[in-house]
Structure 1
Amino acid sequence: MSTTERPRILVVGGGYVGLYAAKRIMKKMRYGEATVTVVDPRSYMTYQPFLPEVAAGSISPRHVVVPLRRVLPKAEVLTGRVTTIDQDRKVAVVTPLVGEAYELPFDYLVIALGAVSRTFPIPGLAEQGIGMKGVEEGIGLRNHVLEQLDKAESTTDENVRRKALTFVFVGGGFAGAETIGEVEDMARDAVKYYSTIKREDMRFILVDAADKILPEVGPKLGTWGKEHLESRGIEIYLNTSMDSCVDGHVVLKNGLEVDSNTLVWTAGVKPNPVLARYGLPLGPRGHVDAEPTLQVKGTDYIWTAGDNAQVPDMASRKAGVENAWCPPNAQHALRQAKVLGDNVISGMRGFPQKEYAHSNKGAVAGLGLHKGVAMIVMGKMKIKLKGRLAWYMHRGYHGMAMPTWNRKIRVFADWTLGMFLKREVVSLGALETPREEFYEAAKPAPAPAAAAAPAQKAKAS
């Protein structure tokens, strides 16, 4: 970390908003005008809409992450967490991955921490659940599912086999529906290489407390998506929640009980709880309360955007929708980040702030290879697509939204190779414990029993 007399713009969080806001600020800033410092526990940004395809093996995990230091070569990138903020002194406390915490002064502040999985105190959830917020979880889910097929193929115990081949997904929004669609697609391909497992032996279950899935694309496409998944043998239970999942025994409110080694939790997100320690004004659900200019209410030197922010949806409000707020999706995060970056520069130079207003352009979702739904908004007209064409729209939109041309090209290359080569179905579960085999080989051997016998015999004589 360098020390400088220049003003410091501190960006807390290196996700979608943090990366794009910092990039925009660096682009608009004059040489030497300020120092941009980005703090995040990871040294990379993850493009979360592609995590279901990572779990299915359609995209290499390395290609959905963007290294912060490479994209922001002129910024300071600190790998750690901002634990507290003293607004009176304009000082943040940074806790690095190793070593002691230290204070970091700033002049301007950007809060871009994003969201974490929204969970409930359900018995067994912490021990059994697999989230889908990070690339590590996407890799882990893929390896885990393929390991279950290995277990089922190798056992003669029918109960062990049934538990291994039952997969439960909780949450029917984009993350849940896309993940179960992609994973079922992958498992369907994988079992072609197993002599004792067929698709009919596997059981996929999707549970949601709401009365529909994929609410983001509207009721008609949501209904089509439900019917499509059911036609592939996926059981869907709506208006249903989970009571417990201790030791993999899943109990649902509707009375259904199943044993499963796989529980994927995608039941929504909530703002990062560390926000409560920053002394910022928060909304009723824990979001940072923001003005239409993306400035935090009551301040003129702090900005926020993305999943951790409560931003008024000015386009909807102008259309007559009262109390409308921007939903937490990549579409808004990208556009908010650019406005935020411009407003930080304007604030530094004493210029007026610009309000953020963006009309919804629609939503797209992939449900496996060549399957998807899409709703495209063009003015007052809504175009609804399903099937292969919607899947092309999904890949096209997110492929172009992926940050940096380096990553765009790599993602499109993965997709192109996938058209000609069969999907990889190898499990690399040892990635979770890479040192285990070496430890077994290198640990001290116990003293042989035979070596102790002569010594005892000599002592007796």
Structure 2
Amino acid sequence: MPKILIVGGGYAGFYTAWKLEKHLRAGEAEVTVVDPRPYMTYQPFLPEIAAGSIEPRHAVVSLRRHLKRTEVITAKVTYINHAEKKATISPEVGDTYDFEYDQVVVTGGAVSRTFPIPGLADEGIGLKTVEEAVAIRDKVLDNFAKAAHLPAGPERDRLLTFVVVGGGFAGIEIFAELRSFASDLLKYYPQIEFDDISFHLVEAMGRIMPEVSLKTSHWVLKDLAKRGALVHLDTQFSSCIDGNIELSTGEKFESDLIVWTAGVMATPQIVRHTDLPIEERGRVTTRADLRVGSDDEPIEGAWAAGDVSRVPDLTGGGVGGYCVPNAQHAVRQGKLLATNLVAVLRGEQPKDYIHKNLGAVAGLGLGTGVFQSGKIAIKGFPAWIAHRGYHGLAMPTWERKFRVFWGWWNNFFLGRDIVSLSAVQQPRAAFEEFAARPKPPAPAEEKPADAATDDKSEVMKADKPVAKPAESAPAEKAPAKKAPAKKSAAQKPAASKAREKDAADTVA
């Protein structure tokens, strides 16, 4: 059977494998997915995870549970040698090995794109994984708990100052969700007032959310201003060494949480270690039918989709003529890729990918959202309902949909869960603190110096061989010793007599 290797289990990779299981006949091909994480993350839910509105495990989809006819390998693909149709797989435990395939699907996704800003690599955190969202939530909760016991001053202000860099959809959503989360926490911390909390969003462009109209973006800015959140437009993020923020405007302040959402880039681990064609921005050169290659000549047996690929946008709405890296395109490309791959295996022609953006919807905290589709814009509570409805239904598998909606229903009556689990980062800390350890061996007793010297002398004497007398002329014979005379019975001691008597009685 032909072997299909899918590199990456994100949106495009998961949907490709999921649809291949539905389209392929029994025994028609073997499908293998390789990803360092054994789950797909539904990234539009990450802001709500950071704000405590969604249980983190509900926003991920287990690959092994839902891809029942697909082999799932939890490892990294460190090289794709398509000339020989081999991929190098490096598991976390065990030896690296080569995997031979007939068809390869590159869906490695994207990572946070950063710049060499002083301090960013040490102090910042991204928003691309569920682990990052959980860490942001725990950081906010821990900072509130610490600040509640501090007097007013620089240290307290630092703990209650939160910064988001990037004014795109992801940046605005996490910024607004955290602002809503912080306001909700005030009822649990009477020591902290609304004005004690500072939120700063830094955007290099002159506007936010380029996916919506300028009028809609202005409404979002006004809504954030009402909630006490500051947005710095036309501002560069210059430095954040040790949490000391410096902006291009000259403004300086301190923060203990810096969330970076200023763009993404194709996963370098994939695109820098392959012989497949890569374009100038570091993405896999992909045709409209999702085969790798140029418009004139496709590369046989190679496919790509999602954020790692450069797919032409035939509707003309994409930036630079290509599809933008978002979930809408990744999901739909994955579905079409599975259909096209099966068609090629059966000798049929693949179809081109065409998808016109239906609009954009964003959540801005509990009860507030924004929706834009063409010239139609909806704001406030109706847009928030549309946001939750759309993403709740877009979550793959009914099992995951049920968990998400059930969580929202519980939160409606019970409120957000505000328990911080930051201690899970060091789960053995409590065990190590109280674990009994073996006592160190007692030191050997030292003898006095004089005693040690005497012992040494005695040892040396004992080890010294006894000198034999020198052989000389035969000496005179010594007179023979006389044998001792036998003692008479009368001369024997009383004890001897008693022993003889006992022996005689025993014999008798």
TM-score tier after normalising by the smaller chain length: over 0.9
Q: Say whether residues 1:17 and 2:36 are aligned partners.
A: no
Q: Say whether residues 1:264 and 2:259 are aligned partners.
A: yes
Q: 1:98 to 1:460 in 2, by over 3 A?
A: farther
Give per-residue Cα distances to partners, 1:250-275, cap 9 Å, x unaligned. 11111111111111111110111121
Superposition deviation, residue 214 in structure 1: 1.2
Q: Which residue of 2 aligns with 1:3?
A: none
**Rg (Cα) greater in structure:** 2
- Superposed, which structure 2 residues align to 1:150-299 within 5 Å? 150-156=145-151, 158-274=153-269, 275-297=271-293, 298-299=298-299
Superposition deviation, residue 129 in structure 1: 0.5
Contact 1:312 1:323 (C-alpha < 8 Å) held by counterparts: no
Distance across 1 between alignment mates of 2:206 and 2:187: 35
Superposition deviation, residue 218 in structure 1: 2.0
Contact 1:82 1:95 (C-alpha < 8 Å) held by counterparts: yes
Give per-residue Cα distances to partners, 1:297-349, cap 9 Å, x unaligned. 140211111111111111227xxx89521111111111111111111101111
Distance across 1 between alignment mates of 2:126 and 2:22: 35
Distance across 2 between alignment mates of 1:376 and 1:329: 16
* Identity fraction in percent: 48
Distance across 2 between alignment mates of 1:445 and 1:188: 50
Q: Say whether residues 1:444 and 2:441 are aligned partners.
A: no
Q: 1:287 to 1:425 in 2, by over 3 A?
A: same
Distance across 2 between alignment mates of 1:217 and 1:120: 26
Contact 2:117 2:238 (C-alpha < 8 Å) held by counterparts: yes
Relative to the length of structure 1, the TM-score reads: 0.93
Distance across 2 between alignment mates of 1:329 and 1:195: 41
Q: Say whether residues 1:338 and 2:331 are aligned partners.
A: no
The letter for the 1-side match of 2:131 is E
Superposition deviation, residue 376 in structure 1: 2.3
Contact 2:83 2:275 (C-alpha < 8 Å) held by counterparts: no
Superposition deviation, residue 157 in structure 1: 6.7
Q: Which residue of 2 aligns with 1:125?
A: 120
The letter for the 2-side match of 1:405 is W
| Aligned match for 1:69, one of 61, 64, 68 | 64
Equivalent position SS for 1:19? helix
Contact 2:160 2:198 (C-alpha < 8 Å) held by counterparts: yes
Q: Which residue of 2 aligns with 1:136?
A: 131
Q: Say whether residues 1:421 and 2:414 are aligned partners.
A: yes
| Aligned match for 1:89, one of 72, 80, 84 | 84
Q: Which residue of 2 aligns with 1:309?
A: 309
Give per-residue Cα distances to partners, 1:334-383, cap 9 Å, x unaligned. 11111111111011112111000011100000000011110124xxxx32
- Superposed, which structure 2 residues align to 1:31-42 within 5 Å? 31-42=26-37
Give per-residue Cα distances to partners, 1:50-82, cap 9 Å, x unaligned. 000001111100100000001101110000011
Superposition deviation, residue 291 in structure 1: 0.6
The letter for the 2-side match of 1:390 is A
Give per-residue Cα distances to partners, 1:150-205, cap 9 Å, x unaligned. 11112247221111011011011111110011111111111211121012101000
Relative to the length of structure 2, the TM-score reads: 0.85
Q: Which residue of 2 aligns with 1:106?
A: 101
Distance across 1 between alignment mates of 2:43 and 2:450: 71
Is the deviation greater in 148-157 or in 326-335? 148-157
Q: 1:157 to 1:439 in 2, by over 3 A?
A: farther
Contact 1:214 1:225 (C-alpha < 8 Å) held by counterparts: no
Q: 1:460 to 1:269 in 2, by over 3 A?
A: farther
| Aligned match for 1:435, one of 428, 441, 447 | 428
Q: 1:270 to 1:322 in 2, by over 3 A?
A: closer
Q: Which residue of 2 aligns with 1:404?
A: 397
RMSD: 2.0
Superposition deviation, residue 421 in structure 1: 1.3
Contact 1:114 1:307 (C-alpha < 8 Å) held by counterparts: yes
Superposition deviation, residue 446 in structure 1: 7.3
Distance across 2 between alignment mates of 1:240 and 1:223: 17
Give per-residue Cα distances to partners, 1:95-154, cap 9 Å, x unaligned. 012111100000001000010000001111111111110000111100001101111112
Distance across 2 between alignment mates of 1:444 and 1:120: 47
Superposition deviation, residue 459 in structure 1: 10
Structure 1: segments with no counterpart, 5+ residues: 1-5
Give per-residue Cα distances to partners, 1:15-68, cap 9 Å, x unaligned. 010000111111100101110000000000000000000011111001000000
Distance across 1 between alignment mates of 2:143 and 2:242: 16
Q: 1:460 to 1:323 in 2, by over 3 A?
A: same
How many residues are matched? 446
Distance across 2 between alignment mates of 1:178 and 1:445: 52
Q: Which residue of 1 aligns with 2:324?
A: 327
